[in-house]
Amino acid sequence: MKNDDPYQKSTIQLVQDYNLNTLPHDEEAEETLLGSLLSDNSALDLIENGLSSLHFFVPIYGRIFQSICELVYKDQIANLLPHREPMLLIDELKNIKKLHSATAIVNVKKNSFYVQGHFPDQPVMPGVLIVEAFGQAAAALTAHGIDKSTYENKLVFLMSVEKARFRNPVIPDCKLELNIEAIRSHGRVWKYKGEAFVDSKKMADAQWSATIVDRK
């Protein structure tokens, strides 16, 4: 007898069977997809560009899907950077061109530690932490492109910041998008440039240098 139990299929097959061209309207199918993603996060790579939380018919399932994405992306960043909460600012790294450029995402939230006292009545993300986010994005790009065995005992230290401009305040409850690019490298020293946007509006830009050092 043919086994039609979707839970017996592989996660990859479930993802392939899921029709991304039609809005989901089957609660059981949505439950199955979420369960599959929870058991095998790697399947997210197959659907992340075709499915969003807005595609789910059941709103709570859309929010669960968004939470899964955020956790998976954050874990991927944690594998590239030595930073940990609360100083791990980068939530996602995408559009990666090896050792050349990438787009980093920072989810600026109302409960983020850096806005609770800056300022109590009008929270704004501190400019120095936008620069820190630039630096983390560059470090993640570098770590992504270097052989893991070479990078595992290294750290990326910020050396200098040039031409930093803060054009608009970054207000919580937004997605800060950092477009970064490696300008040049010499030995262990790298130079980068970047621009920060919220909804296509430029918030800041800068150039900076960093160096790769040995862990002590």
| Long-range pairs for 33-37: beta carbons < 8 A, 24 or more residues apart | 34/61, 34/64, 34/65, 34/68, 35/7, 36/11, 37/11, 37/65, 37/68
Q: In degrees rounded to 5, what are phi and psi of residue 162?
A: -130, 150
User: Contact at 8 Å (CB) between 123 and 112?
Assistant: no
| Interatomic CA distance for residues 104 and 102, integer angstroms | 7
Instruction: Indicate which residue of 25, 55, 83, 118 is catalytic.
Output: 118
107 Cβ neighbours under 8 A, 6+ residues apart: 70, 91, 175, 176
The partner residues of 174 in beta bridges, in order of sequence, read 108
Instruction: Enter the tokens of residue 104.
Output: 């980093």
Our answer to whether residue 144 is catalytic in this structure is: no
Nearest C-alpha neighbor of 133 from the set 185, 73, 179, 167: 179
| Interatomic CA distance for residues 23 and 19, integer angstroms | 8
Q: How many residues does the chain have?
A: 216
86 preceded by a cis bond (ω within 30 of 0): yes
Catalytically active residues are: 118
